Structure 1
């Protein structure tokens, strides 16, 4: 891959990563509720899930999902159901001692492992990601050159842009957090609404890329 092609991919990857999808909205709510440190550490769950998807795309297995409407729908609606569950948990959390969107123990006791698991599951519940990798990545692979090293470069670049996007969304949530301090019920409504919006975005996804 030439430097010019790689730079074009960087721009495309940044635009994809910065779009307000399910994981980015989850990162925003985490930043709002739990601060930057643990929220950024939890992004490792998302990165792990996307790394799995990149390997699937590199092995050509993403084409199987792209050809299977049933597999796409099963994964998608499982992801939608999980996001709806998180959203409803946030909306119904007690205002005096708010739970985190996934049923954790509040800001002070929230486990990074729990937050990372949510990031991982939300990412895995988005089959659109695999289709993006399957449709976009091969366009930057130079025919006649070893494919796996090129996929490695492309994959690592995309994961880096995901980290940058997560950083932006987490910090956005952290910026607004002081404005909502001591307003637990409002925080619950905002985070619940964002997670339900993420569910709506995922529900509207189709196999077209």
Structure 2
């Protein structure tokens, strides 16, 4: 892969990484509740899901999955229902002080949440089956190029997680009052519910 192709890929890819989707919103909220380090560690759950997707895409299995209407529909429905479930729990969550949140913390649980949210989003599959291949030169080693693009995507995703976590960290000082925390949680819940509803209604 030549350097110019990679330089074209990086800004286009980073725009996708920074899009305010459910996973990035989750990182923001985790940072607000638990701090920067925990939000960043939890984000590795989504990276694990993306690694699986990259491997599938590189082997060609992701295309089979995308073209199989039943499998794709099943993933879409599961992902949408999981989004709605998170939204419901966030809407009803108690407004606890940050110290209480940290005491009840489960990093593995947060990583699983990030993983499930990413794995249940069929739009992520489209990134690896439709977006990445545009930058692959079929005349050269495809696996090598896909590995490089996939690794670049993961590095940029870590940067995106960190940036959303920093925003969430700064939000902590603005949400010292329980009333404001409750409003923020419900705003996040509404966004997640809308994302879940949109996923259910979308044709792709």
TM, length-normalised to structure 2? 0.90
Post-superposition CA distance 1:37-89 (Å, at most 9, x none) = 10101111000000000001000011112212222221111111111111111
Query: What residue is the counterpart of 1:40 in the other structure?
Result: 40
CA distance in 2 between counterparts of 1:206 and 1:34 reads 36
- Give RMSD over aligned pairs: 2.0
1:135 paired residue among 130, 134, 138: 130
* 1:2 to 1:91, Cα distance in 2 relative to 1, 3 A: same
CA distance in 1 between counterparts of 2:187 and 2:27 reads 13
CA distance in 1 between counterparts of 2:199 and 2:36 reads 25
Aligned residues: 201
The answer to whether the 8 Å contact 1:22/1:201 transfers is: no
1:160 paired residue among 155, 164, 186: 155
The answer to whether the 8 Å contact 1:58/1:148 transfers is: yes
Unaligned stretches of 5+ residues in structure 1: 100-104
CA distance in 2 between counterparts of 1:19 and 1:179 reads 23
Post-superposition CA distance 1:170-194 (Å, at most 9, x none) = 1111111211124143343234234
CA distance in 1 between counterparts of 2:183 and 2:157 reads 29
- Alignment pair present for 1:60 and 2:60: yes
CA distance in 2 between counterparts of 1:166 and 1:205 reads 26
Query: What residue is the counterpart of 1:24 in the other structure?
Result: 24
CA distance in 1 between counterparts of 2:197 and 2:27 reads 16
Unaligned stretches of 5+ residues in structure 2: none
Query: What residue is the counterpart of 1:122 in the other structure?
Result: 117
TM, length-normalised to structure 1? 0.88
The answer to whether the 8 Å contact 1:49/1:123 transfers is: yes
CA distance in 1 between counterparts of 2:103 and 2:186 reads 20
Query: What residue is the counterpart of 1:102 in the other structure?
Result: none
* 1:98 to 1:124, Cα distance in 2 relative to 1, 3 A: farther
- Larger fraction in helix: 2
CA distance in 2 between counterparts of 1:64 and 1:110 reads 39
CA distance in 2 between counterparts of 1:11 and 1:189 reads 32
Query: What residue is the counterpart of 1:147 in the other structure?
Result: 142
CA distance in 2 between counterparts of 1:74 and 1:45 reads 21
